[in-house]
């Protein structure tokens, strides 16, 4: 049973006041809050274990290694990867994408090759490919979208050719909430022998993920979008691809043998995990995934869908409002604007009433340029948000609008 009162008690930050008002946190697309179990896991590691992994044979090192590797198994199960060696720990989605751009790009992208992205992309899935194209003299192509914020699939198909080596696309737009038809995108890309990377930063917390069913070649995600710690990410890659890709960084842990003449590299996944990682964060990430499992992903998805429908209806009652991003399939993200009110003014005044929203271009400047705007106000929901909070937000928004008009 989805017990929202019990769930909210698990998140201590929700009990605090901001500007003498009880916090209403609607910035979950930026980062999610952490349940007490995750906070406890971080504290427990530093107070009872705090040892480096893989290298030591003493008890603390073995305990830390076991817990770290157990998280890898948990992530493998979460996204249904075929092999645990296909799960690479990184610093986040951005780091995962850059790993692929540097390693896969170094080996398999050449002059004249083409990489396809979409208008919906976060800067983290634009800039690495621009840098790679500049270095390799490759060509970056962009899938256009319609006014609803949906990619135009027929235009995507026109971009594909035997020169296409990679399609890098967001599964879910962080700015609009649009869910892309990634399974069909992947199928078409594979028909021309192109590989596909999915930016799964937003999708992972709002959708059930099955990388084998999707048949994606790479999948990037972040723990902090999944109620876990910051500074932890995952790159999934098909084993046959990861095995032929060169190391992204050199250092300890990623080697088999080092001489001054030559070094040989460790097997997967450690070839891509140089140096001491965020051990505490990775261990605590398992606590976040376990927490989600106890509630149930399907129950969370249903709850967030209900919140999105409810909030959308309430917002559309305001005169002069425009919702940016009205895709048929979307997650619990609502971007909106008023022509006569600046989004930053709106956010500042809402914050005075304890309500946290996000404003600006959301690291999607090309997307904002498509709509001819500088930015939007964005509310985004997590598993602990409620309709009562939406009512509080609507009441505060009405007050702010009356003051600014």
- Confidence band (pLDDT; 50, 70, 90) for 55? confident
> Which is it for strands 333-338 and 321-324: parallel, antiparallel or unpaired?
antiparallel
Classify the phi-psi angles of 339: left when phi > 0, otherwise alpha if psi is within -120 to 50, otherwise beta. alpha
Q: What is the 3-state secondary structure (H, E, C) of the chain?
A: CCCHHHHHHCCHHHHCEECCEECEECECCCCCCCCHHHHHHHHHHHHHCCCCCCCCCCHHHHHHHHHHHHHHHHHHHHHCCCCHHHEEEECCHHHHHHHHHHHHHHHHCCCCCEEEEECCCCHHHCHHHHHHHHHHCCEEEEECECCCCCECHHHHHHHCCCCEEEEEEECECCCCCEECCHHHHHHHHHHCCCEEEEECCCHHHHCCCCHHHHCCCEEEEEHHHHCCCCCCEEEEECHHHHHHCCCCCCCCCCEEEECCCCEEECCCCHHHCCCCCCHHHHHHHHHHHHHHHHHCHHHHHHHHHHHHHHHHHHHCCCCCEEEECCCCCECCEEEEEECCECHHHHHHHHHCCCEECEEECCCCHHHHHHHCCCCEEEEECCCCCCHHHHHHHHHHHHHHHHHHC
Distances from the Cα of 378 to the Cαs of 130, 174, 356, in angstroms?
27, 10, 10
Query: Which tokens is 236 given?
Result: 């999934």
Could you give the dihedral angle defined by the CA atoms of residues 105, 220, 168 and 379, in that order, rounded to the nearest 10 degrees? -140
Say how many C-beta atoms besides its own lie within 10 A of residue 188's C-beta.
19
Domains contained in the chain, CATH given = 4-26+296-404 (3.90.1150.10), 39-293 (3.40.640.10)
Give me the mean pLDDT over the 67-79 stretch.
98
Distances from the Cα of 189 to the Cαs of 116, 196, 311, in angstroms?
10, 7, 36
Contact 32, 224 (CB under 8 A): yes
**Burial label, 228 (beta-carbon count in 10 A; 0-12, 13-18, 19+):** buried
Is the pLDDT confidence value at 1 over 80? no
Is the pLDDT confidence value at 354 over 90? yes
pLDDT at 387: 98
Report how far residue 121's alpha carbon sits from residue 367's, in angstroms, rounded to the nearest whole number. Answer: 8
Query: Which tokens is 160 given?
Result: 């594909």
**Burial label, 66 (beta-carbon count in 10 A; 0-12, 13-18, 19+):** exposed
Report how far residue 201's alpha carbon sits from residue 175's, in angstroms, rounded to the nearest whole number. Answer: 12
Give this prediction's pTM: 0.97
Query: Which tokens is 401 given?
Result: 């609008």
Q: Dump pLDDT digits (tens) for 205-219.
A: 999 999 999 999 999
User: What is the rounded average pLDDT for all residues in the chain?
Assistant: 97
Say how many C-beta atoms besides its own lie within 10 A of residue 59's C-beta.
10
216 is catalytic: no
Report how far residue 250's alpha carbon sits from residue 265's, in angstroms, rounded to the nearest whole number. Answer: 9
Query: Which tokens is 372 given?
Result: 């001819």
Q: Dump pLDDT digits (tens) for 267-317.
A: 899 999 999 999 999 999 999 999 999 999 999 999 999 999 999 999 999
Q: How many residues does the chain have?
A: 405
Contact 89, 234 (CB under 8 A): yes
Q: Dump pLDDT digits (tens) for 137-192.
A: 999 999 999 999 999 999 999 999 999 999 999 999 999 999 999 999 999 999 99
Give me the mean pLDDT over the 372-382 stretch.
97
Is the pLDDT confidence value at 25 over 90? yes
- Confidence band (pLDDT; 50, 70, 90) for 352? very high
Contact 348, 328 (CB under 8 A): no
- Confidence band (pLDDT; 50, 70, 90) for 259? confident
The closest of 89, 84, 109 to 99, measured between CA atoms, is: 89
Task: Kindly report the backbone phi and psi dihedral angles of residue 353, in degrees, each rounded to the nearest multiple of 5, phi listed first.
Answer: -105, 15
Q: Which of 133, 216, 363, 392 is catalytic?
A: 363
Query: Which tokens is 285 given?
Result: 């990430």
Is the pLDDT confidence value at 220 over 90? yes
- Confidence band (pLDDT; 50, 70, 90) for 351? very high
Q: Percent of the chain at pLDDT above 70? A: 100
> Which is it for strands 114-118 and 164-170: parallel, antiparallel or unpaired?
parallel
> Which is it for strands 358-360 and 376-380: parallel, antiparallel or unpaired?
antiparallel
Q: Dump pLDDT digits (tens) for 74-128.
A: 999 999 999 999 999 999 999 999 999 999 999 999 999 999 999 999 999 999 9
- Confidence band (pLDDT; 50, 70, 90) for 252? confident
- Confidence band (pLDDT; 50, 70, 90) for 256? confident
């Amino acid at each position: 049973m989805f017990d929202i009162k019990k769930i909210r008690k698990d998140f201590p930050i929700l009990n605090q006041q901001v500007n003498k008002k009880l916090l209403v946190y609607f910035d979950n697309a930026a980062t999610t809050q952490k349940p007490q179990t995750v906070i406890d896991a971080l504290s427990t590691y530093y107070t009872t274990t705090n040892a480096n992994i893989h290298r030591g044979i003493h008890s603390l090192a073995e305990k830390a290694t076991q817990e770290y590797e157990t998280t890898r198994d948990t992530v493998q199960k979460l996204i249904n990867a075929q092999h645990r060696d296909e799960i690479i720990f990184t610093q986040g989605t951005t780091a995962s994408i850059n790993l692929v751009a540097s390693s896969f790009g170094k080996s398999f992208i050449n002059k004249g090759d083409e990489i396809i992205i979409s208008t919906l992309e976060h800067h983290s899935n634009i800039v690495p490919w621009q840098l790679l194209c500049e270095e390799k003299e490759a060509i970056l192509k962009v899938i256009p979208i319609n006014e609803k914020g949906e990619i135009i699939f027929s235009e995507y198909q026109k971009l594909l050719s035997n020169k296409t080596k990679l399609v890098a696309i967001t599964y879910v737009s962080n700015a609009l909430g649009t869910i892309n038809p990634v399974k069909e995108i992947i199928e078409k890309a594979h028909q021309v022998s192109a590989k596909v990377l999915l930016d799964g930063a937003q999708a992972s917390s709002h959708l059930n993920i099955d990388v084998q069913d999707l048949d994606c070649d790479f999948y990037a995600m972040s723990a902090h979008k999944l109620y876990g710690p910051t500074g932890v990410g995952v790159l999934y890659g098909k084993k046959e691809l990861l095995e032929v890709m060169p190391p992204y960084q050199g250092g300890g842990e990623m080697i088999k043998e080092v001489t001054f003449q030559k070094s040989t590299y460790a097997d997967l996944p450690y070839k891509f995990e140089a140096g001491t990682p965020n051990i505490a964060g990775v261990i605590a990430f398992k606590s976040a995934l376990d927490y989600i499992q106890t509630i149930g992903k399907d129950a969370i998805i249903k709850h967030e869908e209900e919140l999105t429908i409810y909030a959308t209806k309430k917002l559309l009652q305001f005169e002069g409002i425009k919702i940016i991003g009205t895709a048929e399939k979307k997650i619990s993200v609502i971007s909106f604007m008023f022509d006569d009110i600046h989004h930053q003014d709106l956010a500042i005044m809402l914050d005075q009433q304890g309500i946290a929203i996000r404003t600006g271009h959301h690291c999607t400047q090309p997307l904002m340029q498509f709509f001819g705007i500088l930015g939007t106000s964005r509310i985004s929901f997590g598993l602990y948000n409620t309709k009562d909070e939406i009512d509080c937000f609507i009441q505060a928004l009405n007050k702010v609008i009356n003051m600014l008009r």
